[in-house]
Structure 1
Amino acid sequence: MDYLFVICLAILVFFMVSIMSRKANHLSDKIFTFWLFLVALAEVTFFLSSQNLFHDFHWVYEFACASHVLHGTMFYFYVLSLVNPDFSFGKKHLLHLIPFGIYMGYKTTTKSLGLVDCLEEGGCSHSDNIYAVISVYMKFLIILAYVLTGYIMILKVQKNKSFTKGNPYGVKWISSIGNGVLILLSVVFLIKLLGSNGVHFVIDQVMLINIIVSVFVISFVYIYTKYSYIFAHPLSVALVAPAANNSREQVVVDDENPYDEQFQQICEFIEQKEVYKDGDLTLRKLSAMIDVPEHTISQAINRSANRSYSDFINSYRINYFIHLIEQKAHEDKTLLYLAFDCGFNSKSSFNRVFKQFHDITPTEYIKSKS
């Protein structure tokens, strides 16, 4: 089982480096990376526990265990950053460190008063000491409070029909996060509860929890790879259904929208230069082309088109593909050739995005037009 923790840790490090090496990272990417870092710390504690190295690395183990409280906070912030394109950290968000401070204060106080000594008891997670048990449930309740708050946000997004229709893959991703985290938390709590009531497991309950968490993390990262293409920028809760024929048909009339002028400038440049055909058209690259700040472009598209940057660019690509089909270009060229010509980098991403916009595959679309 030791190899499981090592493999999981290696995967986490790989994904942290991959995400942060992107040219354009949104706040949600940074939050997700820090969350992965906390998960990596948890994997370190699992490994130390499996190797019985608790005594040798006592303080590392205790610090990493205390950081578990922040998983709920990171989950909440990550969901918030995905569903709210205007979200940014401010001083008020430092208040969310209070639960962590209370938890650390409790552990420090009980230890200084000699009420509990994790080192002598072989680790607080294994201890039957009442103060250690309170510590475990305190940690659980703090995490649960943030997870439930984040899950409520996800449920609100799922009820938004315009959001679910315009961003089916985004909804699947955040739903996967919410359901997965909630199930994992429930399983861990159930194991701890059964253990506290004298139920014996085939292996040590702490090791069982560690294994379950590690398997969940590997599955979680795998699911992320399936949906990562849509996370160049956050999703907007106000999204409307994608227009099939013209990207500008999505514009929402808003007399108080200060970004209309910038949005028109962006549209005119994209249409005249056909830059959407560039498969590497990042927000930073477009910003340099039209000399408009990245955040202004992102806000203009979100406010005027009710779409994320990636969805907006992909709408041009899909519309261009439909234009090529109408011109019978598929009769002497492969679909993969046309997909690359439209600006997609792979057949799988092209099929995925096309189905997101039209609910059918490109092949099915062509057959329907035959």
Structure 2
Amino acid sequence: MSSPNPILTTIIFVFAAQAIVLGVLLLTKRPRSQSNTFLSLLIFFFALMALNIALVNVLRSYNMMDTFRYVQLELLYGIGPALYFYTKSITDNDFRFSKKDLIHFVPVVLEFIFYRTAFYRLGSDGLYQTPAHPYTKYYLAEQWLGVLSITLYTIISLVVLFRYQNWLKQRFSNLENKSLNWLKAPIIIYSAFWIGWNILSEIDRFVFDRGLREMYFLPAFVGVAIVSYWIGFKGYVKARTKTSGYSSRKTKSDDSTHNPKWASKITKVMESKKPYLDPELDLTKLSELADLNPKQVSHTINRSFSKNFYEYVNGYRVEEFKQLVAKPENRKLTLLGLAFECGFKSKSTFNDAFKKTTGKTPSQYANQQKKESEKKHSVAP
């Protein structure tokens, strides 16, 4: 165990307590939603883990470690299920948590009971004994199974998130407040923490005889407390535009719903009516303009143009931008202003689409066009 550090311990207490407060606010936020419930649980489990370490240091400073073994707060097995069901809830509006899903939280109940037994008390203390106590192997097995649980649930959560984002790109040309990119960071951080923590602890134990513990123990949990507070704050204030029709279950594509003539029909609509100038253009709107159903339009874009809907529409917007930026009368306008005229809705989407299409940033392209224009004028008679 690390030596008592009142400054780091106080920081952990402050951020972990604030995270729990945010979790309570999420739980009571109106209108109530199951996504907020699971995010609140996720924050609670991580904040509890940080508080657990802070409590360890306080009790140790008063030589009360024997008491701590009876009030262990860490609940590893709740993190994975909370993360998974939060991801499911926030990506799929039709998902409803059912009684059969409660089985995912049975391990955390068993973990709570385990911490109240001699297997935990003697096993955890045995880590610091030579030779180790016979129960230590049970304690280590419980810890590593907890890490495995978090890892597996994280992988599944990321799969759900990536499928959702791919589905969005098949239906929407702008993804603001829909893509949930901000959620990737906490998912990965929460998973990586315990994997890295246990690996580092084992290296420290066997290679350095716990000589590095002072360097990483409390600072690591300061980070956990801060990240828990951050995700709570982000989850509380972050809104997203509701989308319907998505299911996390993978559906089979129907290759028979494709006709090469539809490609020219869609192209004609895009070039003559320029629907891509509408920032809210989605698959349904384009399908109505092309007099086709959404499935036909989506599969045609995928097969005939080897793009998803998002890439296809934004490709037209990029070309429109290139035409506008080449006109001398537009040089006084900002690049972002021109991008908005072309149907883009945010700077990040514009920069991303432009770089993927041209291999250059918008400013690099504009500067190149300006230099070429000046060069032509300088050599003109």
Give runs of aligned pairs for residues 48-87 of structure 1, distance below 5 A.
48-51=55-58, 52=60, 55=64, 58=67, 62-65=71-74, 67-87=75-95
Report the CA distance shift for 1:126/1:82 in structure 2 as closer, same or farther (over 3 A).
farther
Give runs of aligned pairs for residues 18-37 of structure 1, distance below 5 A.
20=26, 22-37=29-44
How far did 1:59 drift? 5.6
**1:46: which partner in 2?**
53
Give runs of aligned pairs for residues 63-212 of structure 1, distance below 5 A.
63-65=72-74, 67-108=75-116, 110-111=117-118, 117-118=121-122, 123=125, 126=128, 128-155=132-159, 157-158=161-162, 162-163=166-167, 165=169, 167=175, 170=179, 172-197=181-206, 199-204=208-213, 208-212=216-220
- The alignment yields a C-alpha RMSD, in angstroms, of 5.6
Q: Percent identity?
A: 14
Task: Give, in whole Å, the separation in 1 of the partners of 2:33 and 2:182.
Answer: 17
Contact map agreement 1:244 1:357 (CA 8 A) in 2: no
**1:284: which partner in 2?**
none
Structure 2 residues without counterparts, runs of 5 or longer:
251-274, 288-329, 336-344, 368-381
How far did 1:92 drift? 0.9
TM-score by length of 2: 0.54
Report the CA distance shift for 1:105/1:14 in structure 2 as closer, same or farther (over 3 A).
closer
Task: Give, in whole Å, the separation in 1 of the partners of 2:285 and 2:99.
Answer: 33
Report the CA distance shift for 1:153/1:48 in structure 2 as closer, same or farther (over 3 A).
closer
Number of matched residues? 292
Task: Give, in whole Å, the separation in 1 of the partners of 2:285 and 2:70.
Answer: 53
Contact map agreement 2:38 2:82 (CA 8 A) in 1: yes
How far did 1:189 drift? 1.6
Query: What letter is aligned with 1:30?
Result: T
Larger radius of gyration: 2
**1:274-333 CA-partner distances (Å, limit 9, x unpaired):** xxxxxxxxxxxxxxxxxxxxxxxxxxxxxxxxxxxxxxxxxxxxxxxxxxxxxxxx9xxx
TM-score by length of 1: 0.55
Give runs of aligned pairs for residues 211-226 of structure 1, distance below 5 A.
211-219=219-227, 221-222=229-230
**1:214-234 CA-partner distances (Å, limit 9, x unpaired):** 314424644776787654467
Structure 1 residues without counterparts, runs of 5 or longer:
255-329, 336-348
Contact map agreement 1:38 1:68 (CA 8 A) in 2: yes
How far did 1:187 drift? 1.1
Query: What letter is aligned with 1:145?
Result: S
Question: Relative to structure 2, which stretch is displaced further, 3-12 or 41-50?
Answer: 3-12
Report the CA distance shift for 1:78/1:209 in structure 2 as closer, same or farther (over 3 A).
farther
Contact map agreement 1:116 1:129 (CA 8 A) in 2: no
